[in-house]
Structure 1
Amino acid sequence: MEAVAVGSSVGSLSAQFSKVSSSPKPVHANLSTNLRGSPVVDISRRNRSLCRPLPVESQNDVNLSLKAGARCAMKFLEEDVKEQQTTTKPKPDSKVRPPLPPREVPKHGGIEGAVGLLTKAIANGIFSILQYKLLEDENIYTKGNFAPVEEIGDKLPVQILSGAIPQNFPSGTYIRTGPNPMFHGKYAKSIVGSTKFHWFEGDGMLHATYIEKRGDEYHLSYKNKFVEAAGYLVDKEAGKPLVLQTMEGSPWGLLINGLLNQARFGFQSKPTCNTSIYVHGGRVFAASENNLPYEINVSDLSTVGVFDFKGAWSMDNFTAHPKIDPKTKELIGQGFSVTEKPHNAVGVISADGETLIHEIGLDSGRTCLNHDLAITERYIVILDFPICIDPLQILEGKSKIGVLPRYGDSNSVRWFTVETCSMFHIINAFDDGNEVVIHGLRSKMSFLNTDMNLDKAKWYSRGLTRSPPGQEELDPLSDGALLTYPYEWRIDLESGNVTERVLVDEEISMEMPRINESYVGRKHRYGYVICHDLDQSRKEGVPYFGEMSKIDFSSCENGKGRLSIESHHFGPNRYGGEPVFVPKPGSTEEDDGWIITYVHDMNTGQSEAIIVDAKKFSEEPVARLLLPCRVPFGFHGAYVYDQ
């Protein structure tokens, strides 16, 4: 996604905010990306008309609101400045981030402190004048098993519905995170333009199933809890949703929302940690790529706090899908910036998680929010894909893959142009002689590329439907464009040639791939994915995953053949989530282990955790665990072994 320059078309609002902002970075600049990278202001091609200057009357309204807000703020400002002039603190080192959450405007004396307070006071004054309003849309993501649940408090017992926990199953905890909006989809009205609640901006909630082995017996329990990220704490303290939406809506509405979030809370899009769980250096983290990860305590799911790599990491965010080298135990991740060059940073963290060993800045000429990356034994693989740009730009061929030595400098990266596409998740990558081989789940375009005026359910349904054979596509940018297939890129580092191909023939759509993590960056044979129930997903206009698949790459080696696929169906009207692989203790075979995931039964309204033998993948689960409450659909998880 290209960085968007917001110039004079922002009008007087940005100009007045720039006068009072104490931040060295423009507060509006990050607004071309958000929680999942959806475009906020897109001035390419057909959307350029959206960025014309506001009408004079609208500009005057905004100016009047700002001035009135400033007047309302001055009374509080005079008292705060007087107090701070007697308690001035030294300015903190720029590399040491203020504690999160939430980040407050730093309390400095003199002009800097006054300007920071004025910025925040004006924003609060605007809200006071315009009378804060809550809105609630008819939204499928607040219904059924997408709907949020309440915290249950202490751990509750889990019942075994069928089967038994295998005796050699490792003692540990299966944790998954996902969106769980605290106020059930209610949100604050935008001052300018219009915005809507988006499921991806829901507060992160952890769902943990504890499988504790005591002697020869297993003790099972379940607990859920919100991740106490910065955005969650702001709203919780207020008792209502204060953080404004920055993901779906009109460009003006999203822009102003981000400006006000920055002025009031110190962040533009809401930190949620609703995306992934990973374990490194003896710590467990909840993550989303618009903020730094938060460490969590597995025993009670309490939030330890934000983890910023001791202030050494240069970015204010970190990828949701870092990779851990199974041999060195190093963690490799990346971050992005829209406001400054270089737009991307790639780093290597020590095995104990204490030291940033290596970091370089990369600039491909634009900013892409990268949800995932890959590693091999020698290289880091990064994606420069137009995940969230205007769909018309999809036709312009702007996808690139970057390959760089793990400890290389910024000049060592090599960019390879590939067919334009979208990809959220990489299955794995590995070295094969002079080639770097990448397996991922690829679609023509991102499901985030929607227009607010579209019927999104209909748009999503068409995206999962190919045009009838023999007929031209009704819309080549949408029909069938969301079907997500296993795909292979083979990059020859000697010749510079790239060979790419689809690895399946049938109409299928897969997501959330996992492998045996001992094979990360190494040649793998197996992968595990969830598959859309295409009929249900097309009917409802949202993703429903009715089965898991075990994909065997041994049938498509050396650039030939197609994947062999074995399926595990969840059952009629039952839908599941990401398959997490748990290897058997002492195993030497790649697929010698189990798959664990959450499944929701729409027939009964109950949720389960199921355990499937990976070697007998299509058979019934070896254990079905009935959970004491409903677990909404969500994203990624991990199995955390007991120490």
Structure 2
Amino acid sequence: MMERRQFLKNALNATTLVGGSAVMAKAGAFPLGAASANMSVGSLAIDTLAQNQQYYKRFNEALKVKPHLKAWEGVTADISPTQVSWQGTLPSQMHNHHFYRNGPGLRVRNKTRYAHWFDGDGLVNQFALHKNGVTHKAKFVETEKYRREENAGKFLYSSSGTRIAHAELAKSPQSISQANTSLLPVNGELWALWEAAAPYRVDAETLETKGEQAFSDALKGVPFSAHPHIDRQGNIWNFGKVSLSGQYAFVIYHLSAAGQMKQFKLVNTPRDSYVHDFAMTERYLIFYLSPLIKGKRNEVYTESYSWYGQKEGRVFVVDKNTLEAVADIPTEPGFVYHFGNSWEQGNALVVNLCWYDDAYVFKTAMADLVGEQAPNVKSRASQLVINMTSKTAQLVKSPHGMEFPMFDAQFVGQKTQIQTGIIRGSNPANPRYNTVASYNTQTDNMDAYEYGENVYVEEPIFVKKQGSNKEGEGYLIHTYLDFIKDQTGVSVFDAQHVADGPLATATLPYYLPLGFHGTYV
């Protein structure tokens, strides 16, 4: 049986049969992602310790006058079951279902605090939905990193966006996984996902961590990214980003609905761009390679990337049948976190995405939560139209800001016109994401509900109405944080009448840290 390093070395030396597919690439050594030089000696470690202590104090002082920072305050322990009642009426088809969310939960240990939004051990929140109310509980994903640091009583490793004094050298990306980004329901379990490591399996009922998801010895420790996509047959598609001595590649994953490997393949890419998500049509996987490009490895992962605005963006397309790259198309420079539904239209691919004009949100706005340096930076609901005959791509930007785009999953890979997400509020002087919205890309109509200036809203999940085959007919469920009332709430909307307000809301007697992504089962 082949280990990860040997698999990658073989694949990049010669043609290797992998999962039934041939792989061609060049030789090299496998870097350890966020891991880098040991910070445990010298003046640099002393300086970093002072910076850690300073940021911890700075955050605590800022929290007294900036209550919105409660969104990133974090929690320090699992949360026991708490039951609250609905205000309004929950649709009957949602009785006895579960809504889950994942995100950075534990953000401080031993008077050291993470500074970047990406950082924090994964906290899985379960909201059990019943006719009369919601039962909430939450539990940390017990990754290798979490267990080691829990025993030590301090952070042992530098993280995605925060340098930690006296940090240990990580053995691999898996050893520093925070499993804090999203959740994939598979075979009655939840897979807690992070960008640069394999999933952690979580019991969907108890939230107990069951261990790492193992695909094969060859893929042990190879990244399985945090945004898998599911096709109409239920198959799971994903990628993992690897680089070997200057050769950059994606591992493309094709799994069954039960999480069993169908095929995988290493596909070379033209540059080492930061890639968070991708798009999928019936026949293709589509990646946007921004000019946010990785350079010299850095102990802090986000600091490894630099923005090259003079370079073009690139649209990289992989055929789902052969797992071969079939297009590498130059387009305008920009930055994308999240994609919506995408489809084939004649010889074109139409890709919904949330477009930033540059990577300021990645490099600066999310890097210092206390400073809140870029409140007006926003992504726009946009479409990328790719001509597969002429190998050209055109970006069509809407005037509407949107993030965390979702859609009616029964139409995945088919032409749709409705996407849901979150948008900024109407006050330009205080433009927080406090609004849930449904956007019709054909009519340009925005159906939105704004909570108020003291609220952050989180990604709404679309739940289709039972028996419906009409796009957009269903419900939206999401969480929100009211940082003045110190409450987190769960709300359910009629997806076709968002502006009318929630059908049902349940409010917890405490507040939770903002997360990233969730799922409904």
Alignment TM class, shorter chain as reference: 0.7 to 0.9
SS in 1 for 2:309: helix
**2:278 maps to what in 1?**
373
Residues 353, 382 of structure 2: 8 Å contact kept: yes
1:433 aligned residue: 346
Letter paired with 1:224: A
Per-residue deviation, 1:336 = 1.0
Q: Does structure 1 conserve the Cα–Cα contact (< 8 Å) formed by 2:133 and 2:506?
A: no
- The residue type equivalent to 1:208 in the other structure is Q
Q: Distance in 1 between matches of 2:484 and 2:49?
A: 43
Question: What is the CA deviation profile of residues 167-205 of structure 1, one whole-angstrom value per residue up to 9, with x for unaligned ones?
Answer: 2325311110111125358439xxxxxxx6323121111
Partner amino acid for 1:498?
A
Instruction: Name the residue aligned to 1:474.
Output: none
CA deviation digits over 1:113-158, x for unaligned, max 9? Answer: xxxxxxxxxxxxx99xx99997351236994232112435532212
Q: Does 1:334 align with 2:248?
A: no
Alignment match, 2:7: none
CA 1:502 to 1:243, structure 2 compared with 1: closer, same or farther past 3 Å? Answer: same
Verify the 8 A CA contact 1:349 1:357 in the aligned structure 2. Answer: yes
Match 2:264 to one of 359, 364, 381: 359
The residue number in structure 1 matching 2:24 is none
Of 416, 431, 439, the residue aligned with 1:551 is 439
8 Å contact from structure 1 (residues 488, 501) kept in 2: yes
Deviation at 1:526? 0.8
Structure 2 CA distance for partners of 1:443 and 1:199, relative to 1, 3 Å: closer
Q: CA offset at residue 322 of structure 1?
A: 0.7
Counting aligned pairs with the same residue, the percent is: 22
Say whether 1:630 aligns with 2:511.
yes
State the Cα distance separating 1:347 from its structure 2 match: 1.7
Are 2:169 and 1:261 equivalent residues in the alignment? yes
Per the alignment, residue 199 of structure 1 pairs with 117
Partner of 1:166: 91
For 2:396, the equivalent position in structure 1 comes to: 501
Rounded to whole Å, the distance in 2 between the matches of 1:168 and 1:181 is: 34
* Structure 1 SS opposite 2:92: coil
Q: Contact conserved, 2:174 with 2:198, CA < 8 A, in 1? A: no
SS in 2 for 1:284: strand
Does residue 395 (structure 1) correspond to residue 309 (structure 2)? The answer is yes
Q: 1:360 to 1:637 in 2, by over 3 A?
A: same
- Superposed CA RMSD: 3.5
Match of 1:531 among 423, 439, 447: 423
Contact persistence 2:107–2:120 (CA under 8 A): yes
SS of residue in 1 equivalent to 2:124: strand
Q: Note the 1:27-38 alignment, pairs <5 A.
A: 29-31=31-33
Distance 1:383 1:235 in 2: 35
User: In the alignment, which of 136, 149, 155 is matched to residue 235 of structure 1?
Assistant: 149
Aligned to 2:18: none
| Runs of at least 5 residues in structure 2 that lack an aligned partner in the other structure | 1-26, 296-304
Q: What are the residue-to-residue correspondences of 1:134-153 with 2, within 5 Å?
A: 135=53, 137=55, 138-139=58-59, 143-153=69-79
Change (3 A) 1:298 1:607: same
Task: Find the residue that maps to 1:158 and give its secondary structure.
Answer: strand
- Asked if the contact 1:147–1:184 (Cα under 8 Å) also holds between the matched residues in 2, the reply is no
Change (3 A) 1:308 1:269: closer
Q: Tell me: CA distance 1:345–1:245, structure 2 relative to 1, closer, same or farther (3 Å).
A: closer
Counterpart residue number, 1:307: 213
Alpha-carbon spacing, 1:534–1:387, altered in 2? closer, same or farther (3 Å): farther
Partner secondary structure for residue 128 of structure 2: strand
Amino acid at match of 2:488: S
Residue deviations 1:600-630 (CA, integer Å, cap 9, x gap): 2233211110111112111121101022431
Counterparts of 1:603 and 1:147 in 2: how far apart (Å)? 14
Instruction: Tell me the SS of whatever aligns to 1:155.
Output: strand
Cα pair distance change 1:605/1:393, threshold 3 Å: closer
Q: Secondary structure at the residue paired with 1:618?
A: helix
Spell out the pairing of 1:440-451 with structure 2 (5 A cutoff): 440-446=353-359, 447-450=361-364
Kindly provide the amino acid, as one letter, of the partner of residue 139 in structure 2.
K
> Whose helix fraction is larger, Structure 1's or Structure 2's?
1
Return the structure number with greater strand share. 2
- Asked whether the equivalents of residues 551 and 564 of structure 1 are also in contact (C-alpha less than 8 Å), the reply is yes
| Alpha-carbon contact 1:201-1:270 (below 8 Å) kept | no
Deviation sequence 1:428-468 (CA, Å, 0-9, x none): 2101111111110001112122399999836414xx2xxxx
Q: TM-score, normalised by structure 1?
A: 0.67
Question: Which has the larger Rg?
Answer: 1
**Among 478, 492, 498, the residue aligned to 1:617:** 498
* AA matched with 2:309: L
Pairing partner for 1:490 from 385, 405, 428? 385
Q: Is the 8 A contact 1:136 1:185 kept in 2?
A: no
Q: How far off its partner does 1:207 sit?
A: 1.4
Please give the alpha-carbon distance, in whole angstroms, between the structure 1 residues aligned to 2:142 and 2:308: 37
Q: In the alignment, is residue 316 of structure 1 matched against residue 211 of structure 2?
A: no
Q: CA deviation at 1:569?
A: 1.2
**Tell me, which stretches of 5 or more residues in structure 1 are unaligned?**
1-23, 35-39, 42-57, 66-125, 189-195, 465-481, 556-562
Contact 1:358 1:407 in 2 (8 A): no
Contact kept in structure 2, 1:173 and 1:210, CA below 8 Å: yes
Q: Number of paired residues?
A: 474
> How far apart are the structure 2 equivalents of 1:458 and 1:616?
33
Answer yes or no: is the 8 Å Cα contact 2:447–2:497 preserved in 1.
Answer: no
Task: Give TM-score, length-normalised by structure 2.
Answer: 0.81
Distance 1:631 1:588, change over 3 A: same
SS at match of 1:366: coil
Partner of 1:222: 136
Q: How far 1:299 sits from its partner (Å)?
A: 1.0
